[in-house]
Structure 1
Amino acid sequence: MATTPERTLPLVSIIVPCFNAGDTLPETLESARAVDYPSVEIIVCDDGSTDPLTLQVLSELGDDVRVVRQENAGLPAARNAAIAAARGAYVFPLDADDKIHPDYARAAVEVFEADPQVGIVHARVLRFGDAEGEVGYDDFSIGKLLNHNMIHQLSWFRRADWETLGGYDEKLRDGREDHEFWIRIVSTGRTVVKLDELYSIYRIRATSMNHTMTHDKLARIYAEIFRNNSEFYLEHLEEYFTERYVERARLAHWSLRYGKVEALIEGHPRAYGAVRRVAATARRLRRH
């Protein structure tokens, strides 16, 4: 793919919602500053932080980072506030504990500029923190997207689409706001492109929102997602249920194959530790 000349490259915006994330924000911003692209703005939205460390980190930021502030309103509202202040043609939401690969911006812009129909550019995802290695995601299809999210939050989109669609749903404070937003973008006829590089760098924490979600809360969230996009779901109902039943068959297969192993692990906590140690050893061997 031909490289876009430097003088014509559009401005891009890296937006960082932040609530009491002073322990990780410096590392996140260091990765944003290291992006190899000539026209980048970095905007942090302080979502009503209260802890002294975060307030100190924010007060010491240089002129290369713009800070907008609001009363605590949740992650979707903080993203919206930062994007509202952004001037870039393309936007990248970077949570205050994650990182971005230096080459991600340039690669995404080349895709957007080459095809005006593209609405989302995402990439392979590398974990760090409490777990390591690549996060496996299914290939994109509308049926899959309506069932579960295979587009990571660390993905690029057009600011114009954000404005047209009204931004992230601020009612989804408990999560999946990115999934709902991707569905709305795709419902406009936009296409999705995945880069075959590990450009999204995602911190794993055992206490993160995604790891502590209850079934009741998930049900409420996905009911909201369906209400927001009911016409699109109805338009693709056959694809939705096809994927649903394929997924059920897959789960039944794995349950039949590994159910006894799972029961052993649940009944014997030490076995769980042994399995984790074997997996860690296997990962180390693959690296050598």
Structure 2
Amino acid sequence: MTAVPDVSAIIPTYNRRELVIRAIHSALAQTREVDEIIVIDDGSTDGTGEALKAAFGDRIISVRQANAGVSAARNRGMAMARGRYIALLDSDDEWMPEKTAKQVDWLEAHPAFGMVLCDVERVDIEGRPIDRFRRRDVIREDGWVLPMVLQDPALAPVSAMFRREVYADIGGFDETLATAEDLDFHLRIASRWQIGVVEEALARAIRGHDGLSSLSRTYDDYTRVIERCVAESGDRVSEQDKSRALAAGYLRNARGAIFDNRFRAAWAWTRKARGTSADPRIRQNVRATVLLGFKRMALNLAGRNKR
């Protein structure tokens, strides 16, 4: 009888030939061996498949599919995975050598928990530090974390390891979302499973090498995810936390629209936030967002007058 693997790594990729090779090397360099590395090539046209075969041979499982998006690629990989634990590794990210060992040890010491996260170092393409994504900034204590996560559901898939039962329970990523699919996945897990944190930077994310997605679509998807979770959360989240989460989401969209110089959209998001929650902190953030908008408008006007 074939033994069940411990850890399956899922790596979706699209036209990132050099970066995905770096990602795979980081999975192969783990102090606790990753039992299977599944790479889903989502229709790359840059020779990714040939490069992977030459570099790794049968040390990885590489499958090519027609381009269908990162969610479809992750879902196909998870459906193929045989491991007791599933770990996500995007092709522009890397794992530190101890990631697998420390997260497996954590999950085995906490059998009631479905997923464990870690901090992430964010760097530019040259490896220069940008910042550190600290999970304790949002998840202040381990356990049933939905009310906390709802206020800021950023996941960073590279930080996550979860049990196979979690995937069987909630399913994969929502393929109808062009963006914010990781936020939605995080919230659905938090709705049904306890989540914990290893307070170490066990992963590195490379930023600033890809173009931006459509911002209007990003705002729409983010809002859809938050509103859907609020509507489905029932009594697991207080009414105050629900309204605070909605308002915070609308303000996040407003600030994004301001920096995109889409001021009419920004004012609409701001009004929506103000009408959603009477929380003094939200009201303070509304005022700060309005002030930011006026400052941005003034800078744009000053720039035009100098021409």
| CA-CA distance at 1:36 after TM superposition | 0.9
> CA contact under 8 A between 1:111 and 1:118: conserved in structure 2?
no
Give, in whole Å, the separation in 1 of the partners of 2:10 and 2:217: 31
Match of 2:101 among 106, 119, 143: 106
The 5 A counterparts of 1:155-194 are 155-172=160-177, 174-188=178-192, 190-194=193-197
| CA-CA distance at 1:259 after TM superposition | 7.9
Paired position in structure 1 for 2:72: 77
Give, in whole Å, the separation in 2 of the partners of 1:264 and 1:88: 55
Give, in whole Å, the separation in 1 of the partners of 2:229 and 2:146: 16
Give, in whole Å, the separation in 2 of the partners of 1:117 and 1:145: 19
Which residue identity is paired with 2:59? Answer: D
Q: Deviations over 1:190-222 (max 9, x none)?
A: 21111111112111116444xx44135422443
Paired position in structure 1 for 2:117: 122
> CA contact under 8 A between 2:38 and 2:61: conserved in structure 1?
yes
> CA contact under 8 A between 1:144 and 1:240: conserved in structure 2?
no
3-state DSSP of counterpart to 1:62: helix
Give, in whole Å, the separation in 2 of the partners of 1:136 and 1:265: 32
Q: Deviations over 1:166-203 (max 9, x none)?
A: 2111112x221111111111211x21111111112111
2:44 is aligned with 1:55: no
3-state DSSP of counterpart to 1:132: strand
| CA-CA distance at 1:228 after TM superposition | 6.6
Match of 1:202 among 199, 205, 211: 205
TM-score normalised to structure 1 length: 0.77
Give, in whole Å, the separation in 2 of the partners of 1:105 and 1:94: 11
Match of 1:28 among 23, 42, 49: 23
Give, in whole Å, the separation in 2 of the partners of 1:267 and 1:90: 54
1:90 to 1:208, Cα distance in 2 relative to 1, 3 A: farther
> CA contact under 8 A between 1:44 and 1:67: conserved in structure 2?
yes
1:213 to 1:123, Cα distance in 2 relative to 1, 3 A: farther
Structure 1 vs Structure 2 CA RMSD: 3.0
Paired position in structure 2 for 1:241: 243
| CA-CA distance at 1:258 after TM superposition | 7.5
Paired position in structure 2 for 1:219: 220
TM-score normalised to structure 2 length: 0.73
Give, in whole Å, the separation in 2 of the partners of 1:29 and 1:222: 34
Unpaired segments ≥5 residues, structure 1: 1-7, 270-288
For these two proteins, the number of residue pairs brought into alignment is: 257
Which residue identity is paired with 2:10? Answer: I
Paired position in structure 1 for 2:270: none
Paired position in structure 1 for 2:33: 38
Which residue identity is paired with 2:215? Answer: T
Which residue identity is paired with 1:133? Answer: D
1 or 2 for the larger relative contact order (CA 8 Å, sep ≥6)?
A: 1
2:140 is aligned with 1:146: no
Unpaired segments ≥5 residues, structure 2: 140-144, 248-276
User: 1 or 2, which has the higher helix percentage?
Assistant: 2
3-state DSSP of counterpart to 2:147: helix
Give, in whole Å, the separation in 2 of the partners of 1:225 and 1:240: 9
| CA-CA distance at 1:21 after TM superposition | 1.1
Give, in whole Å, the separation in 2 of the partners of 1:264 and 1:37: 55
3-state DSSP of counterpart to 1:200: strand
Give, in whole Å, the separation in 2 of the partners of 1:13 and 1:46: 16
Which residue identity is paired with 1:162? Answer: Y
Give, in whole Å, the separation in 1 of the partners of 2:105 and 2:232: 32
Give, in whole Å, the separation in 1 of the partners of 2:209 and 2:302: 21
